[in-house]
Chain A
Amino acid sequence: MDASIAEQQRILASDWGGGKSPFGTDWAKFMMWIFIISDALTFAGFLIAYGFMRSISPSWPIQTHVFSMPLITFMTFDLISSSAVMAMAVGAAREGNAKAAVKYLALTILGGAIFLGCQVYEWSHFIEHGARLNHNPWGVPQFAASFFVITGFHGFHVFTGLTILAIVAIRAAMGKYSATSVENAGLYWHFVDVVWVFVFAFFYLL
């Protein structure tokens, strides 16, 4: 009898025995990772489809001549900076320093809002130049379509991230937060940054 209990405990203590998370995370954080992975698959689909469309197209506009690269570079700098500040917010939350966590969260939100503002500016200029979903002055319909879909989808993620961060920041200011909630919000925000790194390289530079 003792041997069977000992065996049961040994199995439960193993990685895949059912007694603990095989991934070494709590449930909420693991679900955030699963969401991020599924979302990454969506963006992977978009970017591969973009690469394919571009590759079968007889020509493609030179992006550095179409887009304002100083603006895009600033947007990249802004998002990377907000991601770094978000990491500091997570560190502060883990240390139980709510005041610092709220301060860093507010700075992250500011960075995200600036990014979104720049994206609105970029979109409005692009539309002013005659870009639409199905046609544009540069002669390749897929060019504007892929721009609107990819950056639009990313922009929507930034907006969603800002909403989540605002809720977490308000809760942290009221003292109703946990380090895990800040960390999960941070994971999402870093993911938004990762996606932009891909968009910046493959859509704007390649």
Chain B
Amino acid sequence: MAHDHTHTGNRQYFTTWLWLLVMTMFALTIGYVSMPEGIKAILLVGTTLAKIILIGRIFMHLKFEKMNLVMLTFSPLLLSVILYFMTRGETRGHDNTHIVLSHDGEVIPTGPEEHEAPHGK
């Protein structure tokens, strides 16, 4: 096995845990701060990728594994990117001809604005 002679101590797990908490709080702040959706998405994707790389490298010991296994584990991310770009052309922001009809057949405005919930928890 690739990691037979390797060991990650509890101290490093604790440091990783702290970093994960910091990044979670950062992501939470991004979620609450008002900013353009594009920037928010980039920041959240970046933070999420940083978190999964930390979990994968330290907690799942991928840093001790062979590179071909590491690349294999990231293949779902590649598929996600392909799926995203496959469906992107049909989305609201990229298809101006996209029309949404109500049950009565009326055209529903498809502006970028979001509505508030009628009531929260």
Interface on A for B, CB 8 Å cutoff?
15, 22-26, 29-30, 33, 36-37, 40-41, 43-45, 47-48, 51-52, 55-69, 73, 76-77, 80-81, 83-84, 86-88, 90-91, 94-95, 125-126, 129, 137-139, 183, 186-187, 190-191, 193-194, 197-198, 200-202, 204-206
Contact A91 B83 (CB under 8 A): no
Most interface-central of B83, B92, B117 (chain A CB within 10 A)? B117
B residues in contact with A51, CB < 8 Å: 84, 87
**Given A24-B2, A206-B41, A36:B73 Cβ within 8 A:** yes
**Given A47-B80, A94-B7, A206-B40, A65:B48 Cβ within 8 A:** no
Specify the main secondary structure of chain B where it touches its partner: helix
Contact B27 A200 (CB under 8 A): yes
Contact A205 B115 (CB under 8 A): no
B76 close to chain A: CB less than 8 A: yes
Contact B83 A24 (CB under 8 A): no
Q: Kindly identify, within residues 17 to 69 of chain B, every residue whose CB is under 8 Å from any CB belonging to chain A.
A: 17, 20-21, 24, 27-28, 30-32, 40-41, 44-45, 47-48, 51-52, 55-56, 58-61, 65-66, 68-69
Specify the main secondary structure of chain A where it touches its partner: helix
Contact A62 B8 (CB under 8 A): no
Q: Kindly identify, within residues 53 to 110 of chain B, every residue whose CB is under 8 Å from any CB belonging to chain A.
A: 55-56, 58-61, 65-66, 68-69, 72-73, 75-77, 79-80, 83-84, 87, 90-93, 98, 100, 108-110
Contact A25 B72 (CB under 8 A): no
Most interface-central of A24, A66, A76, A95 (chain B CB within 10 A)? A24
B residues in contact with A22, CB < 8 Å: 66, 68
